[in-house]
Every structure is written in C-alpha cells, then in structure tokens.
Chains A and B, each alone.
Chain A
C-alpha cells in the first residue's frame, strides 16, 4: 500500500506506462490472432484491420467507400441532432420559466424517456420507410432528452437574485428567458449537447444496423453477413473516430463558453 491516489506520476512515467499499456493491448490482440488460438477469420490482426481501413478509403463496400458511408451517416446525424437541439433547448428553457408548461410536458416526457431510442425503429420504418425521416426520428429520440433536461435544469438553477433584479426592473417574459435564463444556463446546455451527440450518434448506428441502405451501420451489417471481420472492425474504428471528433468539438465549445463566463 505504498502507492496512494495522492501520489502522482511524472508525465514521463505516465507516458511510458501508457505506451506499455497500448503495446500490451496490441501485442495480446496480435498474439491471439497470429498464433491461431482464435481463428483468423474471427479475430484479424491489428495490421489486417489497419490495411483494410486504408483500403476502404478508396474501395467500395456495400455500394460506397467508407468516407461516403460516413458522410451519409453524419448528414443524417446532423439533421436529427440539430432538430433535437432546436426543439429541446427552447422547450427546456420555457419549461424552466412557465410552471404550467412544465407540469403539462413533464408527465409526457417522463413517460417517453424510458423507451430506448432504438425501440422507435419499427415505427420509424412504418412511418418513413427507408427515407431520411426514419433515422432522423431515432437520432432525435436519442438527442432530444438530454437537451431538454439540461436546459431545464440550467433555467431552474439560475440564481434567484438575478431573476428578481430583472423582474424588479420590469423585464418581460421573453427578455428574461433570452437575456437572463439562456446566458446563465449556457454551460449546462452545452454539457447536455455533449451527451446528446453521443446518444444520437450511437442511436443512428443502431438504426442503420437494422434498416438502412447506406451509412456506416449498414456497411457493418453487410460486412457481418459476409463474415468480413476486418471490414466490421474498420467501420467500428471509423465510428469511434467520428464520435470522438464530435465530442472534442463540443468540449472545445464547452471550455470556450466557460472561459467567457468567467471573464
């Protein structure tokens, strides 16, 4: 028990440990694959996955190259995500201000919230076929709740004196919402957007696995039917990278907002 959580490693130590960790991970993976303990078809080596990934950048699979599939997924994602944000954030702020609205919307929202976004797939297919509406509905189902909850919480926790000062000066409802509640809850809203993006992206992938004719999820399900494990893994890497990109972008916005809030 010599090490405790209080004792930190030097940057060099943690870098070495990290490197050893990654190498160990890749080593075990390639060991299992190359030694034939696990059949090569089921667990291709990291090198196979990397070369397949590079190959997929220019070679078509399931009707398009990997970047093309990714592009159609990202396009759907942005429709659903922005729809969720454009409805969720204003509604959350309004619910935080007008109590009657809160009391009317909350029970409906609470009832729908526990339905996993992916469970909307059958209705999405029924209502929209394989059109763009279906995936948007499912991304919306994933991205909307965090937007609403966070802007609602943000609006509810605005410090009381701020609101009272605004009210005393005779500020109207619209201006209070736009000029007091919205700025004060921005940090909470951006945090909600990050959760939204993660959930929306993952719901889209799930939806594409089930009903789609383009997109990375569709590509994965086709590769799975073909027993093409390296392609499945390449798609997973691509999905992870894009998800990471969204998260990094939103985190950057989050810190920018916080910094502006402090100054």
Chain B
C-alpha cells in the first residue's frame, strides 16, 4: 500500500522508497535528542501539499492518528453509545464543561484563576528549590568534606517520595499555599542538588587547573567557570525538578486545596462529573507540557555556547 493511497487527502508524494528511509531513520536515529525529549526523530522524507509548508511523513501520520482517535471518540460516545456517558465524557460534554469552568466558574473560581494559582505555586516552589538546591550542589560538588557531611542525610531522606511529604506538610502548615510550596520544594530540591553536584564533578580538570594557574579570584571562579561548566547538567536537574514539582503540586491540590487544577479534579471527582475531570486532566497535561517547553527554550538559548564550543 503506498502512502498516497493511505492518505488521499494530502496528495502526498513520497520522495524516497520505504526501505531506504527506514535505513536513514535507524542510522540518524534520535541520538540528537536529549535526556527526556520524547520519541522525536528526524526524517528525510517529506510531503508536499500545494500551498502548504512541507510536512514530514511523521507529522502527517501523527495528525492522521490524532484525527482517527478523535473520530473514534466522537462515534463511540454519542451515536453508538459504546461508552456510557457516566464513565467517559463525549466531546460535547467536554466542551460544555470547558465553557462552564472558563466562563461561569467551578470549584471556587474561573479556569484562568485556577491555572494562575497552580502556576504561581509551581514557579514559586521551583524557584525556592533552585535557589537553595543549586548552591548546595555546587558546594557539595566542589568540597569533598561538605559532600561527605551532607550526603548521608540525603541518603536518608531521598528514598522518601515527594508525595509522601504531603500529609506532614498539611500537618505543619495546613492546606494553604505554604504547605504546597514546602512539598514542591521537597520534590524539586533533590534533583537540583544531585545534578548540580554531578555537573561540577564532570568539569574537565584542566579547565580548573588553568583557572587556578591564572590566579582567578574565588568569586569569578564560581561565576565564570564553575556554574557555566556545570550548566548542562544543572539544566537536566532543572527539567527533572520542574516535572516533579508539577506532579507533586497536582497531588497536593488533589489532597486538599481551595484553588488550583487539582482542586478542579477533586471537586469533579466528588461530583462524578466526567466532562470536568477530562478538562482538568487536559489542563494538567497542557500546562505541564508548556512549562517543559519554556524551560527547554531557555536551556537551548543559554547553552547555545556549548554547541558552538563543541563544533570548533
């Protein structure tokens, strides 16, 4: 079956044979993608639809898959009644729930208020964790004594998953914002410290020796050598931290909160309101994705020099 017959809509023209591109893909692979960038791969094969920009075979099939899923969803819920509306919402239910939460309000507020509240907490907790975790990581990476002193305490606390701190945080600080920030801090702090530490350890010794030989003062050494040289690993830590922060915040809000996306989910669960659950989950996914995207943009901007340095 040729691809153009599979997707007649696109009038696709396949420039390379199937077998050949398969080889390109496996050879080029997705080695270029970083630690956690997902399953993207670069392809050499493109579709040309007159009047539209070129699309890769991958995105065409991806769009077709999403379209097919949507069609199945539409058909299975309303016309065929394969799924009972009490268990999974139809697209129309989702749209109605979305309009309700966006314009009328649900669970104490409008959608944008819930989203803003959650995002504020995540950014705040994440910022506190970065501000404490990165310096501690630098210290532990640089000073073996500090590492030997602090590491055992870490070994002690690290296996406790961030979500397990939620009840204690509620006991200490109630269900308000302070408890959420504490829990996010627990979630985001550890990856920050560990990755910064690893980053410092992977600095080439000759860089440090050169700086020492030139008598670089301590402050300049930290700002101009230690932090930049460790920054690729620091960013890996930040990415992990951010994901952990978001998961933990949603959990903490599900356990007890007055506002936020987790609160929407919690109230929707109690009301047995599938449409609203769907909207809440979609928002959790969308904003999680958006934050990761923004961080990776910042990362590629600030680490542009690493690429340049490597290509020379």
A, B from the same assembly: yes
Given A42-B172, A157-B31, A206-B251, also A116-B160 (CB < 8 A): no
- Contact call A115/B288, Cβ cutoff below 8 A: yes
Interface majority SS (helix, strand, loop, mixed), chain A: helix
- Contact call A99/B288, Cβ cutoff below 8 A: no
- Contact call A239/B164, Cβ cutoff below 8 A: yes
Q: Which residues of A contact B141 (CB under 8 A)?
A: 5
- Contact call A233/B168, Cβ cutoff below 8 A: yes
The CA of A42 and the CA of B142, in the complex, are separated in Å by 36
In the assembled complex, A256 has its CB within 8 A of some CB on chain B? no
Closest chain A residue to B23, Cβ basis: A160
**Interface residue from A9, A99, A110, A209 paired with B145 (Cβ < 8 Å):** A9
Given A201-B161, A210-B254, A243-B161, also A17-B149 (CB < 8 A): yes
**Interface residue from B221, B265, B288 paired with A122 (Cβ < 8 Å):** B265
**Interface residue from A100, A152, A205, A229 paired with B163 (Cβ < 8 Å):** A205
The CA of A232 and the CA of B212, in the complex, are separated in Å by 50
- Contact call B167/A123, Cβ cutoff below 8 A: no
B72 to chain A, nearest CB (A): 12
Closest chain A residue to B162, Cβ basis: A202
In the assembled complex, B77 has its CB within 8 A of some CB on chain A? no
The CA of A108 and the CA of B205, in the complex, are separated in Å by 45
A18 to chain B, nearest CB (A): 4
Q: Which residues of A contact B172 (CB under 8 A)?
A: 42
Given A18-B148, A18-B149, A126-B277, also A223-B284 (CB < 8 A): no
The CA of A223 and the CA of B73, in the complex, are separated in Å by 42
In the assembled complex, A6 has its CB within 8 A of some CB on chain B? yes
- Contact call B65/A118, Cβ cutoff below 8 A: no
- Contact call A104/B65, Cβ cutoff below 8 A: yes
Q: Which residues of A contact B193 (CB under 8 A)?
A: none
**Interface residue from B29, B65, B144, B160 paired with A8 (Cβ < 8 Å):** B144
- Contact call B65/A114, Cβ cutoff below 8 A: no
From 125 to 168 in chain B, residues with beta carbon under 8 angstroms from any chain A beta carbon are 141-145, 148-153, 156-157, 159-168
- Contact call B161/A205, Cβ cutoff below 8 A: yes
Given A209-B167, A236-B165, A243-B159, also A106-B62 (CB < 8 A): yes
**How many residues on chain A are close to B (CB under 8 Å)?**
79
Closest chain B residue to A201, Cβ basis: B161
In the assembled complex, A121 has its CB within 8 A of some CB on chain B? yes
In the assembled complex, A47 has its CB within 8 A of some CB on chain B? no
Closest chain B residue to A8, Cβ basis: B144
- Contact call A209/B251, Cβ cutoff below 8 A: yes
In the assembled complex, B250 has its CB within 8 A of some CB on chain A? yes
Q: Which residues of B contact A13 (CB under 8 A)?
A: 145, 148
The CA of A233 and the CA of B156, in the complex, are separated in Å by 13
**Interface residue from B57, B65, B159 paired with A244 (Cβ < 8 Å):** B159
Stretch at the interface among A19-27, A55-63, A78-86, A182-190: A19-27
From 8 to 49 in chain A, residues with beta carbon under 8 angstroms from any chain B beta carbon are 8-9, 13-14, 17-22, 24-25, 42
Q: Which residues of B contact A115 (CB under 8 A)?
A: 281, 284-285, 288
- Contact call B149/A20, Cβ cutoff below 8 A: yes
The CA of A21 and the CA of B136, in the complex, are separated in Å by 15
Q: Which residues of B contact A232 (CB under 8 A)?
A: 167-168, 171
A-B contact pairs, 23 of them (CB 8 A): A3-B142, A4-B142, A7-B144, A25-B156, A104-B61, A106-B58, A107-B65, A114-B284, A114-B286, A118-B250, A118-B254, A119-B280, A122-B265, A126-B277, A156-B26, A156-B29, A201-B161, A202-B162, A205-B163, A206-B251, A221-B167, A236-B164, A240-B157
Binding site for A on B (CB under 8 A): 21-22, 25-27, 29-31, 38-41, 57-58, 61-63, 65-66, 69, 86-88, 141-145, 148-153, 156-157, 159-168, 170-172, 200-201, 203, 205, 208, 212, 218, 221, 246-247, 250-251, 254-255, 262, 265-266, 268-269, 272, 274, 277, 280-281, 284-286, 288-289, 292
